[in-house]
Amino acid sequence: MGGSLALALREAGYVRQVTGCGRSQENLESALKLKIIDSATTDPAKAVAGADVVLLAVPVGNIGALCKIIRPYLDQNAVLTDVGSVKADVVMQVEEAFGEIPANFVPGHPIAGTEKSGAKAAFSDLYKNRKVILTPLPKTSPDAIKQVQTMWEKVGAEVEQMSVAHHDKILAATSHLPHLLAFGLVDSLARQKDYEEIFCYAASGFRDFTRIASSDPVMWRDICIHNRSAILQAMDRYQIDLDRLRQAIESGDDDALLEIFSRAKAARDEFAQ
């Protein structure tokens, strides 16, 4: 996520210096070779020193600990933002780390990405024509919001704003639940005795549906833990509908099945336009 943004900002001529920070020296070296970043360090304190904008592109469970490390070294005017798929818990972690919500903190979430990770997976078109949601808080500086919005618009993204709670509810249904279904299905099939034959004859529909099960397990573990309430609500609603679908199949109710499938096809076709 961070690498793709850096590449896109470079192409747009919007950055002068990009410092990459991470735990893997190998990944940092790849980022340097690919010219994603200008300099690299495994020390967050060194990475943020003198920075105009600091982007937190880490699993959401690591946000708080990272903010505690960088807090003493952030420039007073530095803008802090993130790419986390969960916002309420991220805001809470930032507030705990700083003792308050920093005026220059702009929570953000680009609705983009692939199942791959690391510097070698970065590409500059990732955010083009994709939505980025900002969830600014009452104390958030308007100048900081404008700066983050402009940054995303420079890479071709469409920026929208919504409340923290609304973001977490919507993303639980449209992103988190589909990932859980993909992970759960693949895990269920992989634990069957004839799993090798099952995967051998899996067609494109299975590959398309389960592609996101190749996503980073640590990231998705954190998302489940830190957005558990909204995710559980989405799962409960889906379980009710899944039970209806099972009942229709069990009873041989062809009219009910046709209604469900037709309604789903119409909604998907409209969404895909």
Backbone angles phi, psi at 197, to 5 degrees: -70, -40
> What pLDDT sits at residue 201?
86
Phi-psi region of 133 (alpha: psi -120 to 50; beta: other; left: phi over 0): beta
CB neighbours of 51 closer than 8 A, spacing ≥ 6? 19, 74, 75, 78
Rg (CA), the chain: 21
Q: Which CA distances in Å does 230 have to 163, 223, 236, 238?
A: 14, 11, 10, 12
> What pLDDT sits at residue 253?
97
> What pLDDT sits at residue 271?
86
> What pLDDT sits at residue 116?
78
- Domain covering 2-162: architecture: 3-Layer(aba) Sandwich (3.40)
> What pLDDT sits at residue 113?
75
Domain segments of the chain: what residues? 2-162, 167-272
Q: Do the two domains 2-162 and 167-272 of this chain adopt the same fold?
A: no
CB neighbours of 198 closer than 8 A, spacing ≥ 6? 189, 192
> What pLDDT sits at residue 118?
84
Name residue, tokens 């690498």. 3
> What pLDDT sits at residue 102?
96
Average pLDDT per block of 10 residues along the chain, 273 residues long? 93 94 92 94 96 95 96 96 96 97 97 82 93 97 98 97 97 95 95 90 88 92 94 97 97 97 95 80
Q: Are 192 and 198 in contact (CB under 8 A)?
A: yes
Q: Are 167 and 133 in contact (CB under 8 A)?
A: yes
> What pLDDT sits at residue 237?
97
Q: Are 137 and 164 in contact (CB under 8 A)?
A: yes
Cα–Cα distance measured from residue 101 to residue 90, given in angstroms and rounded to the nearest whole number: 11
State how beta strands 39-41 and 19-21 pair. Answer: parallel
Which CATH superfamily groups domain 167-272?
6-phosphogluconate dehydrogenase C-terminal like domain (1.10.3660.10)
